[in-house]
Structure 1
Amino acid sequence: MPQTTPRRGGRAREAAVNDSRIFDAARAVFTRDPRAPVAEVAAAAGVGKSALYRRYASKELLLRAVAEDVTRRFVTLIEEAHDALDEGVGAGTVLLQFLTDVVDADLHAVLTATAGLFTPTPSDVRLSRAGAARGEQLVARLHAGGALRADATWNDLNDWVAAIGEVTSFAPERIAPRRRRMVAALVGGLGSAALPLPAPAPAPVDYWPPGLPGFADRDDVPVD
């Protein structure tokens, strides 16, 4: 008897589509104004405010869901870079593709804008920690492959991606090409360390307020 793949129900499909639209809208709205009301997100997503509140009863819950979605997408890109190295793709090519993919996905901006405004979910914390560990492993492999200068850290890569993500244009079609041009220029200068990088490497406190439960100090949440 042939096996069939269960189909998602109509409501489940609709919820997934709405979530995607809501998350995309929330990233754009909260990056522009992290204190914007949920009603502004609903309008940008093209869904009713009541429908959004049925899904996410508060702005805190929406921010937490958006952050977890961003983390999951970022970890997927990290794993794709590892897969490419496993398949024998050159380290320099992997570094360029990874940074380009991350910049194109434009994931960092909303987390930077909303840092400290919500408490991450335990699953987001676990995923973030696991992703950071895999990111450190990726950097080690890129070091070993000669694609990344020895004093460049995982947090450095995140800083550079976030900075490139700030590049914009009054002609929207020019934003992605401008960012990719900067990624290519950055990668071109990362292969050798003629001069050491000044100052200490970035640290967790640079991304999340000290004393507030979050990614930098959630020791109560296990990784696995």
Structure 2
Amino acid sequence: MTEPKRRGPRQAEAERNDRALLRAARQVLADDGAHATVAAIAAAAGVGIGSLYRRYRTKEELFQRLAELSLDSWNQAAERGLAEDDPWEGLASFIVACVEFGQGSLAPIAGTIKVTKEMQAKSDHSDELLAALVARAHEARVLRPDVTVVDISLLIEQFGRSPALDQLRKQGREDLLEAAADAHRRVLAIAVDGLRACHPRPLPGGPPTDRLFTERWTHETG
């Protein structure tokens, strides 16, 4: 039996830098949107621009990697939700996990980067998993019948960020961060509870279609 190879100090440092870059890129994207610069990302990560470009040849490649990791997190949360015995708990825990991860924070780069084959494959799988979660909740009659897969996706995107938390972080108000995080969790719980089948009033308007997502991510060249 062969022993697993131990990581050398350089490899360990490279992995730490990579994790720091990805965390920083997500935060800078949340703050600056599609105008996020490589310099700002490198500065936020505490690494030089050269280190960033040694790992990712272009800003697009970095953003594509972020998108893949986001889809991985989504799929893992969905699989955990499907493993839950209770259909409602499975769906609710999936929504909360996605919001806590910050799903939706990559929305500003929609349409600005090319969707790779890996991204598309992971996205297709995420659609299948969420459809299974929603179908199971509908079959158990715990989810209001007019709620669709796209409704769930949009809810996660809307709650993926907290404007109050973002503003307080920029202001350096450490004394209010915990209260703002608690408030965000409370409002999310209220929204998730609104998905329950016990609510008799129908939702306004027609159900949204997946065009709200697919067409935003269409990358126009030229």
Q: TM-score, normalised by structure 1?
A: 0.83
Say which structure is richer in helix: 2
Query: Partners in 2 of 1:9 and 1:140 — Cα distance?
Result: 47
**Partner residue in 2 for 1:79:** 79
**Partner residue in 2 for 1:152:** 147
Listed as ranges, the matches of 1:1-224 within 5 Å are 4-33=3-32, 34-84=34-84, 88=85, 90-110=86-106, 112-169=107-164, 170=168, 171-192=176-197, 193-209=199-215, 212-213=218-219
Q: Is the 8 A contact 2:103 2:156 kept in 1?
A: no
Query: Partners in 2 of 1:142 and 1:14 — Cα distance?
Result: 44
Counterpart of 1:55, as a letter, is: R
Query: Partners in 1 of 2:204 and 2:19 — Cα distance?
Result: 41
3-state DSSP of counterpart to 1:108: coil
Q: TM-score, normalised by structure 2?
A: 0.84
Q: 1:206 to 1:28 in 2, by over 3 A?
A: same
Query: Partners in 2 of 1:137 and 1:123 — Cα distance?
Result: 21
Q: 1:76 to 1:42 in 2, by over 3 A?
A: same
Query: Partners in 2 of 1:128 and 1:9 — Cα distance?
Result: 34
Query: Partners in 1 of 2:163 and 2:180 — Cα distance?
Result: 5
Q: Is the 8 A contact 1:29 1:36 kept in 2?
A: yes
Counterpart of 2:30, as a letter, is: T
3-state DSSP of counterpart to 2:123: helix
The number of aligned residues is 208
Q: 1:146 to 1:16 in 2, by over 3 A?
A: farther
Query: Partners in 2 of 1:13 and 1:183 — Cα distance?
Result: 37
Q: Is the 8 A contact 1:77 1:101 kept in 2?
A: yes
Query: Partners in 1 of 2:158 and 2:46 — Cα distance?
Result: 30
Query: Partners in 1 of 2:179 and 2:160 — Cα distance?
Result: 13
Query: Partners in 2 of 1:130 and 1:32 — Cα distance?
Result: 29
Q: 1:80 to 1:7 in 2, by over 3 A?
A: farther
Counterpart of 2:118, as a letter, is: S
Q: Is the 8 A contact 1:77 1:102 kept in 2?
A: yes
Q: 1:83 to 1:17 in 2, by over 3 A?
A: farther
Q: CA deviation at 1:213?
A: 4.4
Q: Is the 8 A contact 2:102 2:161 kept in 1?
A: no
Identity %: 31
Query: Partners in 1 of 2:217 and 2:111 — Cα distance?
Result: 10
- Unpaired stretches in structure 1, ≥5 consecutive residues: 215-224
Query: Partners in 2 of 1:165 and 1:210 — Cα distance?
Result: 17
- Unpaired stretches in structure 2, ≥5 consecutive residues: 169-175
Query: Partners in 1 of 2:137 and 2:188 — Cα distance?
Result: 16
Query: Partners in 2 of 1:80 and 1:168 — Cα distance?
Result: 28
Query: Partners in 1 of 2:209 and 2:12 — Cα distance?
Result: 40
Q: CA deviation at 1:8?
A: 3.9
